[in-house]
Amino acid sequence: MKRVDIKICILRVGGTNCDAETKRSFEELGAKADIVHVNELVKRRNLAEYSALVFPGGFSYGDYVRAGAIWAKWILARLGKELEAFVDDGRPILGICNGFQVLVEAGLLPAFNGISQQPEAALASNVRGYGCRWISLKHENMGKCIFTQKVPKGKVLRMPIAHGEGRFVFPKEKEKEFLKKLYDNDQLVFRYCTGDGEYAEGRFPENPNGSFHDIAGICNPEGTVFGLMPHPERAFYWWQQPDWTSKTRMPEYCDGKLVFESLIDYLERKS
């Protein structure tokens, strides 16, 4: 697919945010990106026209019931078949922050045995409440996740987080079994770490929310559905970084760009 023919759907609903930053990130790379209200998508039934789908960050439906739960169940009720076909067709889906919560609540992640009827994980309340700051992430994926194929294994990336419910957990009795599955299927993508790349091992503030195994982002077994709590679209340009005024020279782009670039590259290579 030519880059100019790539068309990304960025969903919007009451309470979503950073949709404009996400659109700009894709457009900077030469792809088309539409911000589409979910009601429009339901009315037009045109999800299949898009090359990839993004659930952006925010606090959809006021985070009522549980963060991401209402939007997840709503979209399954209205567009479940289309969404399932989209996933089965191998079309990529990205969930950023609240989008990650939606993908987990909808059973699209971790999706060990395909889309699950009930969530197999949860993004629970942070141990220390809402947090908004820059953190470090270590790339763990061996090459399955199409959203990080341009990121070398072990590379430390900087991105901001902004959430109150991001503590990734598995059912207590299945922690070991599910973690093994994440490794066996190459579904682990990002773990929280120190600036030097040492795993946070649950320590605050490197692990900002208390996530099990310092998990910050995972993909499905096929590597085409990816969710992460940090915001790559808020770490795209050099001037989005917190230390841009104190440094005399910085690269034009920063680490979040790699996520968008990896996706666009994958779509270009795909027939």
Name the catalytic one among 18, 145, 231, 254: 231
Task: State which of residues 124, 150, 155, 253 lies at the interface with other proteins (CB under 8 A).
Answer: 124
Q: What is the CA radius of gyration of the chain?
A: 17
Q: Choose among 222, 197, 178, 234: nearest CA to 87.
A: 222
- 111 binds other proteins per the rule CB under 8 A: no
To the query of whether residue 163 is one of the catalytic residues in this protein, the response is no
b/e for 211-241, b at 16 or more Cβ within 10 A?
Answer: bbbbbbbbbbbbbbbbbbbbbbbbbbbeebb
Q: Considering only residues 3, 128, 180, 203, which one is a binding residue for other proteins as defined by CB under 8 A?
A: 128
Distance (Å) of CA 26 to CA 35, 130, 264 = 12, 28, 8
Q: How many residues bind other proteins (CB under 8 A)?
A: 23
Catalytic residue flag (residue 233): yes
Of 203-222, which residues contact other proteins (CB under 8 A)? 210
User: What is the C-alpha separation between 221 and 198, in angstroms, rounded?
Assistant: 26
What is the closest distance, in whole angstroms, from the C-beta atom of residue 123 to other proteins in the complex?
A: 9
Give kind and range of the element (H or E) at residue 232. Answer: none
Under rule CB under 8 A, residue 250 binds other proteins: no
Q: Provide, rounded to whole angstroms, the least separation between the CB of residue 171 and other proteins.
A: 5
CB of 125 to other proteins, least distance (A): 5
Question: Using the rule CB under 8 A, which residue among 55, 61, 170, 226 binds other proteins?
Answer: 170
What is the rounded CA–CA span in Å between residue 226 and residue 93? 6
In this chain, which of 121, 219, 254, 264 binds other proteins, going by CB under 8 A?
A: 121
126 binds other proteins per the rule CB under 8 A: yes
Residue 260's SS3 state is helix
Query: Can residue 180 be called a binding residue for other proteins (CB under 8 A)?
Result: no
- Whether 201 is catalytic is no
d(CA 52, CA 98): 17
129 binds other proteins (CB under 8 A): yes
The active-site residue, picked from 9, 18, 21, 97, is 97
Which residues are catalytically annotated?
A: 97, 231, 233
